Structure formats: structure tokens, C-alpha cells
């Protein structure tokens, strides 16, 4: 969703145009990652929209296009992979501002900013295809939620990698970027302490019994030792 203050500012700007018949809206992001709309060309603008009719209705249309274009795909992917759709929307907003052509300086691509290796592992042939990108990103996010049993840790792993979360004792790593990332998303949607897939997360834990390694199953996430998530 485009922040209300930006929409209001844009409305005031567009209202001042000489003719309400046609306008061009340019979309970019500032240094803090906030979506910025303007009726003037912007260096590095990520998208533009041809806008017609009245200024007020135009502003609402732009906001809707940015935030709701992929609702059906998001709902389908969320249902398939057991992730709350509102969490998916928050991730996409922070990752790309709903720009399917977004590319980071590290090479992450599309709406959910998939890295090439991650996309390949998820079976995403074309990360620039919004449908593939969303389904791949949601599948990955869902796997992290099931692995960590916690949406906050899953978000941290989505940003910094599961290895980083594990290295810091299954806590959000003390990286400024990751902490800011988690904060931006959690302030947009409530987070859940357990997976929302409708199933209990089962862990396969390796323990030593009478000097012999032995696996056992538990629904409590281990705090140390070797284990696997089996569902």
C-alpha cells in the first residue's frame, strides 16, 4: 500500500496540473526504501503510469495498481504454501514496492526479490514472471516458517539466510539491514509465533541413548543439537 501521506501529496500535486485529462505518474524509491510518486520525471524511476480522468480518481487508481494488482496470485500462493496472505503482501511491499521489474544491487529479482540460486532451487524458470516469482517466494517463505516455527525468525532468514539465524542461536541476527527489514514487515502485519499452515511442525531430533545415536520425533523446536524438520 502506498503511504497515505504520499498519496495526499501526490493528489495535491496532480490537482495543480493545467489539464485533468491526462497525466504521467512516475514511481521510484527513496534511500530508505519508501515508495515515492511524482508527476515529474524522476531519475531511476522504476515504473510509470499513464493516468486519465480527474486528479483525485487518478491518485486512487495509482495506489490501487501498486498494491492490489497481484491479489489473486498472492491469495492462491498463500493458500498453497500455508502462509498468511497479509504477510506475503507486507514482504512484497518491503522487498520491491510491488514492482515486478525490481532488481537489487545484489542481483535479487522481481516482486519477492529472489536470488538466482534461490529461484533455481525453487524451480522458478523465469524470476521476472510475477506469477512464478510470487509462488516461488511464498514457497520459500512457507518453508522457513515451518523450519523455524516462528514468522519473525522466518523473515530474518528470508533476508539474511537460514544459516545466519542458526548461527545466532535462532534469533534475529544483529545485522542492521535484517533488523530493519523485520521491523518494516512486522509493523505492517501481526506476526505469529508458530506456523500458520494448519499443521503442527514435527522435528526429528538426533540424541544419544546408552552411547548410541537415536532419532526421536517431537513437536517442540530443539534449542541445540542436530535435528530435521520433517513436516
Give catalytic residues, as residue numbers. 95
Helix (H, G, I), strand (E, B) or coil at 27: strand
Helix residue spans in 2-102 (DSSP H): 4-15, 55-68, 71-81, 85-96
Cell 517463505 found at? 141
Cβ–Cβ < 8 Å for 215, 227: no
Within 8 A by CB and 6+ apart from 66, the residues are: 1, 2, 27, 35, 97, 98
Contacts of 149 (CB under 8 A, 6+ apart): 193, 194, 195, 201, 221
d(CA 38, CA 169): 44
Amino acid at each position: 500500500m502506498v503511504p497515505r501521506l504520499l498519496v495526499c501529496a501526490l493528489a495535491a500535486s496532480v490537482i495543480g496540473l493545467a489539464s485533468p485529462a491526462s497525466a504521467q505518474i512516475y514511481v521510484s524509491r527513496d534511500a530508505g526504501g519508501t515508495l515515492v510518486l511524482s508527476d515529474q520525471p524522476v531519475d531511476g524511476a522504476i515504473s510509470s503510469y499513464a493516468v486519465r480522468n480527474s486528479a483525485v480518481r487518478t491518485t486512487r487508481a495509482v495506489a490501487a495498481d501498486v498494491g492490489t494488482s497481484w491479489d489473486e496470485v498472492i491469495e492462491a500462493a498463500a493458500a498453497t504454501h500455508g502462509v498468511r496472505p497479509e504477510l506475503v503482501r507486507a514482504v512484497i511491499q518491503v522487498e520491491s514496492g510491488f514492482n515486478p521489474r525490481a532488481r537489487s544491487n545484489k542481483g535479487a529479482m522481481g516482486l519477492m526479490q529472489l536470488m538466482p540460486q534461490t529461484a533455481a532451487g525453487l524451480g522458478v524458470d523465469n524470476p521476472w514472471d510475477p506469477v512464478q516469482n510470487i509462488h516461488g517466494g511464498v514457497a520459500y517463505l512457507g518453508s522457513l516458517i515451518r523450519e523455524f516455527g516462528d514468522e519473525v525468525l522466518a523473515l530474518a532468514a528470508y533476508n539474511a539466510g537460514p544459516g545466519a539465524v542458526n548461527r545466532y542461536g535462532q534469533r534475529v541476527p544483529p545485522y542492521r539491514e535484517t533488523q530493519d527489514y523485520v521491523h518494516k514487515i512486522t509493523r505492517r502485519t501481526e506476526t505469529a509465533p508458530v506456523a500458520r499452515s494448519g499443521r503442527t511442525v514435527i522435528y526429528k531430533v538426533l540424541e544419544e541413548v546408552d552411547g548410541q545415536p537415536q532419532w526421536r520425533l517431537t513437536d517442540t523446536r530443539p534449542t541445540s543439537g542436530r535435528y530435521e524438520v520433517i513436516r
